[in-house]
Structure 1
Amino acid sequence: MESLEEMQSRHRKEQKDLQSRIMQKKKAATKKTRKGVNGECEELERQVKERQEGERLALNGEGDTAPPAGDSPRLDETMDEEHTEQLSNGVEEITESLDKSQVSEAPPENGQPRKRNRQKERLARRAAEQENAVEEAKKEAANQPDPKAVERAQMLKEFKARGLTEKTIRPDGHCLFSAVADQLSQVGIPLGAESDAELKEDQRYKVVRKAAARYIEAHPDDFVAWLDEPLGQYVHKIRDTAEWGGHLELLALAKTYNVEICVLQNGVAQNIEPDLAGASEPEKIWLAYYRHGFGLGEHYNSLRKAP
């Protein structure tokens, strides 16, 4: 069952994707279609708001049932559909213009042939070109490779080449910190002041979150230039919420635990090193980073040495 933090994380992503989708629709709208597009956008916002509210009530036991998660489509899953829809709208507008031209065209007089209607011919050519473009867009979308399958194949190839095996981490917004906690345990590095033996496996991410937040807060000059919000607010989100971690948190953790963090992504390894002036040679830990393989979006798994 989805937890409150998982649902909140998914809702934030759905709202972000929805706003991007609405912006694309409004940019593509013409004077003729603007009113309909605005109505469609308002309806999309209403549906997402009602569904998310229903999910929150259901999770709190105040509703009967929750709508299935994932009803709000992701932006990268709708681009081809919207491209095709825009082309189709163009065909409809041209066809309508042709119909008006045909209605207004005067019948032949005294048996004389009608005067050639060049505007009508241009519209017909444009309509045919748009129809061909629609068909080509559909074919191109159908022939696109599955990014999830391509990414997975590349990762498996790298795992085998480097002698690594993957430990799947729960996609709950804490995956980066849970994956780092698993790796630190594999190389025998204590997570923090709390005794590792007293911590349940699904709670160890909390110690790692606090360690990252503590380092960022203590070294503001290394991080404030990369933030879009006040440092204190950012530190609070990293320490106390399900906010996703990224490069800044990996850098903070590499320095905190004196480890070299190697992140595999699409067949390429990115190394994040601690201070080279450390007292001892840093241990190397491995993470797998996915952009397409998980429903909530970006995700980290732990990579252990293959037996």
Structure 2
Amino acid sequence: MADAQDIDGKLCEENFPCTSQKQETRDEMLSRHRKEILQLQNKEIELKKAAAKGSKAEQKAKKKQVEEEISQLSAKLKEKHAEELGSLGYCNSIRNDKSNIDNLVKAIAGVSVTTQHDHPKTSKGAKRREKRALQEVAREQRIQEEQNNIVSDRMIEDEKLEKKLEPLGFTINEIKPDGHCLYRAVEDQLALLSGGSSPYTYQELREMAAAYMRKHASDFHPFFLSENTIDGDSDDSLVERFENYCKEVESTATWGGQLELGALTHCLRKHIMIFSGSFPDVEMGKEYKSDGRSTSSNATIRLSYHRHAFGLGEHYNSVIPNSIG
């Protein structure tokens, strides 16, 4: 297995060039940063799969080595991104500069960075963009603050999850971290339960979840609005935004979460268990739970939720029996 330095060099040269002869715009740089993060996530999955060979002791040692290598690459990539943002005028240590955070939020949201006196009134659309941008910056801030603890956080989470799943006879099947991971994990489970291919693709699962949420909007509005309310919004604008959210669910790579899982459990009429090494396990669709006579129609869908999967975002995997892992 190549060491961290070799891997870093390869990633730097082939996947995300360290320097650019052409000055990038802010949007171009942010887009490239997202691609580089995804490439690193895919690299980790490749390395983990390559390490899943040999005895359990060998696999554990290899897995630990992969985590250490990815942690080093992640830290270097984070530092590189911070320096590049700094070249556009954003301070590297943003957590200590409140005014810089505000400017960065506005820049990402596409709002002109001017004084309140120049623009006394901000449109609702701009407010929503600023709120989304603030959430993105807060997430980046949290990742940066936790960077020094990524190895231990991920290892602790993985070890807790492994100790939880091993006595049950289960293990993790890694799912591609591309924004569709929740739906791909459910698709993987449906294939497992059918003994062949899944009756639905991840894209069809997205469309099913969106259609169910629209049809039962009153059940989902309270949860959606608790995270997406802007002062001054009318009831009509909230309804419109929920519809836009459903459109994103069915036609983009927006990450799925509890709302979508709630819809899927009813669409599929399946009992769903979500295991986690960082939070209490979550059980959904108890009304569809098997009475002990397990068949493909009432079998449980098992997923794992990873808070520190890559140190770069949350993630879902598929939980499968050890015998086929």
Query: Taking structure 2 as the reference length, what is the TM-score of the superposition?
Result: 0.50
Partner of 1:254: 265
Structure 2 contact 289–300 (Cα < 8 Å) conserved: no
Partner of 2:174: 168
270, 280, 285: which one pairs with 1:273?
285
| Cα drift, residue 302 of structure 1 | 0.3
Partner of 2:60: none
The whole-number CA distance in structure 2 between the counterparts of 1:43 and 1:277 is 47
Secondary structure class of the residue paired with 1:187 = helix
The whole-number CA distance in structure 2 between the counterparts of 1:80 and 1:295 is 8
Partner of 1:298: 314
Secondary structure class of the residue paired with 1:146 = helix
The whole-number CA distance in structure 1 between the counterparts of 2:162 and 2:175 is 16
13, 26, 30: which one pairs with 2:97?
26
| Cα drift, residue 225 of structure 1 | 1.4
Residue 6 and residue 231 in structure 1: after superposition, are their counterparts in 2 closer, same or farther (change >3 A)? farther
Structure 1 contact 260–272 (Cα < 8 Å) conserved: yes
Counterpart mapping for 1:6-25 below 5 A:
7=34, 24-25=95-96
| Cα drift, residue 10 of structure 1 | 6.0
The whole-number CA distance in structure 1 between the counterparts of 2:193 and 2:271 is 12
The whole-number CA distance in structure 2 between the counterparts of 1:169 and 1:252 is 21
Partner of 1:206: 203
Structure 1 contact 182–302 (Cα < 8 Å) conserved: yes
Structure 1 contact 5–173 (Cα < 8 Å) conserved: no
The whole-number CA distance in structure 1 between the counterparts of 2:168 and 2:223 is 33
Counterpart mapping for 1:162-201 below 5 A:
162-188=168-194
Counterpart mapping for 1:21-100 below 5 A:
24-27=95-98, 38=100, 74-79=140-145
Partner of 1:220: 217
Aligned CA-pair RMSD:
4.4
The whole-number CA distance in structure 1 between the counterparts of 2:316 and 2:146 is 28
Structure 2 contact 179–254 (Cα < 8 Å) conserved: yes
Structure 1 contact 6–172 (Cα < 8 Å) conserved: no
- Identify the structure with the greater strand proportion: 1
The whole-number CA distance in structure 1 between the counterparts of 2:270 and 2:177 is 24
Residue 305 and residue 43 in structure 1: after superposition, are their counterparts in 2 closer, same or farther (change >3 A)? closer
For 1:217, give the aligned amino acid: R
Q: Deviations over 1:25-72 (max 9, x none)?
A: 234xxxxxxxxx75x98699989x9xxxxxxxxxxxxxxxxxxxxxxx
The whole-number CA distance in structure 2 between the counterparts of 1:78 and 1:235 is 31
The whole-number CA distance in structure 1 between the counterparts of 2:205 and 2:317 is 15
The whole-number CA distance in structure 2 between the counterparts of 1:283 and 1:264 is 16
Q: Which runs of 5+ in 2 are unaligned?
A: 1-14, 17-30, 39-77, 111-138, 229-237
Residue 76 and residue 166 in structure 1: after superposition, are their counterparts in 2 closer, same or farther (change >3 A)? same
Structure 1 contact 22–41 (Cα < 8 Å) conserved: no
Aligned residues: 197
| Cα drift, residue 277 of structure 1 | 11
Secondary structure class of the residue paired with 1:263 = strand
Identity of aligned residues (%): 27
The whole-number CA distance in structure 2 between the counterparts of 1:9 and 1:225 is 36
For 1:287, give the aligned amino acid: L
Q: Deviations over 1:188-231 (max 9, x none)?
A: 29855xxx6xxxxxxx2111111111111111111111222522
| Cα drift, residue 184 of structure 1 | 1.1
Q: Which runs of 5+ in 1 are unaligned?
A: 28-36, 50-72, 82-140, 197-203
For 1:146, give the aligned amino acid: S
The whole-number CA distance in structure 1 between the counterparts of 2:286 and 2:277 is 24
Structure 2 contact 289–298 (Cα < 8 Å) conserved: no
For 1:284, give the aligned amino acid: T
Residue 5 and residue 80 in structure 1: after superposition, are their counterparts in 2 closer, same or farther (change >3 A)? closer
Secondary structure class of the residue paired with 1:159 = helix
